[in-house]
Amino acid sequence: MNTYYFTLDLIQEAGRLLEVKKQQNFCVSCKNGNPKDILTSLDVELGEFITNKILAQYPDHSIHNEEAVEIAGNGYQWAIDPIDGTASFARGIPQYAISIGLLKDGMPILGAVLDPCTNELFSFRKGEGAWMNGEMLQPSAITDLKSSYVLFAAGRKDSQCEWAGESYKSLLTSVSKIKTFGSSALWLCYVAAGRVDGVVAGTFSSLDIAAAVGILNEVGGVVCDREGHPLEISNKSQRVYVANNQAMAGELIKLLESS
Ligand code: IPD
Ligand code: CA
Ligand code: CA
């Protein structure tokens, strides 16, 4: 079976399952007792569902599922975030996504992000394009902060509070609109779709949502660290800058990393 279409079918099946299951009772808890890190029983259930389907089709592949231990395999690695935006999901806020990406030797080669609340399905195949429900994605061409919409998420680390407060203040006087909502996978898809022009995130783990990184990179968008270097896909939680283009990434870094 074609792996891209396998991924699209799987994520849509997972989306239907999640939307049915959320009508029933599910448990909400915290990871490691941290009230800033919410987990539901459906994160675990959906992660297992997706993993089992992948392994039935590709038994030799490696699996990274945010909510389970790593499964080692060959140079192909699936990166699964069963619910990206659990905190919103747990409280009935329709701002979450499912993310499934496939990496070869650490580079995203195809993947999909589904917003089950709007049925927007974002996807890409490396070197071929990125789409939303079949329509080619295109970031905005905006390069100046004054006209830009920027998504800002302070993140979970207390150590970043000061930077986050100062940054928010700087953005207020520099950009057109500051937005925020609960799924980092969708943030990147929104940049790819031209809905926002940049994202500043205090804590960001790229491996879980490698599909979204692949989608944005495919249409020329930028995902970089605070020094402006392209972000390596990893499990590390770090401050990142995401933008429609290199110029916008540079402007954001200049504004928020100079003090
Ligand atoms: C979180 C969401 C959230 C972002 C956090 C992520 P999770 O993922 O993407 O928008 O601010 O940094 O950890 O925990 O819901 O999969
Ligand atoms: Ca998650
Ligand atoms: Ca996540």
Q: Ligand 1 pocket: which of 37, 42, 80, 84 to mutate (most atoms <8 Å of CB)?
A: 84
Q: One digit per residue, pLDDT tens: the chain, 259 residues?
A: 699 999 999 999 999 999 999 999 999 999 888 888 899 999 999 999 999 999 999 999 999 999 999 999 999 999 999 999 999 999 999 999 999 999 999 999 999 999 999 999 999 999 999 999 999 999 999 999 999 999 999 988 888 899 999 999 999 999 999 999 999 999 999 999 999 999 999 999 999 999 999 999 999 999 999 999 999 999 999 999 999 999 999 999 999 998 6
Decide which of 82, 103, 136 is a domain's last residue. Answer: 136
Decide which of 101, 136, 171 is a domain's last residue. Answer: 136
- Calpha distance 109→47 (Å, rounded): 20
85 in contact with ligand 1, CB cutoff 6 A: yes
Let me know whether 122 and 232 are in one domain: no
160 in contact with ligand 1, CB cutoff 6 A: no
84 in contact with ligand 1, CB cutoff 6 A: yes
40 in contact with ligand 1, CB cutoff 6 A: no
Alpha helices in the chain (DSSP H): 3-21, 41-57, 86-90, 161-172, 184-192, 210-218, 246-257
Let me know whether 156 and 117 are in one domain: no
Let me know whether 62 and 163 are in one domain: no
Let me know whether 153 and 176 are in one domain: yes
Let me know whether 88 and 203 are in one domain: no
Let me know whether 128 and 159 are in one domain: no
Distance 1 CA to ligand 1 centre (A): 32
Decide which of 85, 117, 136 is a domain's last residue. Answer: 136
Let me know whether 41 and 166 are in one domain: no
State the pLDDT at residue 32: 83
State the pLDDT at residue 1: 65
Let me know whether 53 and 96 are in one domain: yes
Let me know whether 27 and 8 are in one domain: yes
Let me know whether 24 and 103 are in one domain: yes
CATH number at residue 208: 3.40.190.80
Of 108, 101, 133, 88, nearest to 10 (Cα)? 101
Let me know whether 68 and 166 are in one domain: no
- Three-class SS state of 154: coil
The number of domains in the chain is 2
State the pLDDT at residue 31: 87
Let me know whether 110 and 10 are in one domain: yes
198: containing domain: 145-256
Distance 249 CA to ligand 3 centre (A): 22
State the pLDDT at residue 33: 84
CATH number at residue 76: 3.30.540.10
Sorted by sequence, the CB contacts under 8 Å of residue 163 that are 6+ apart come out as 202, 239, 256
Distance 142 CA to ligand 2 centre (A): 31
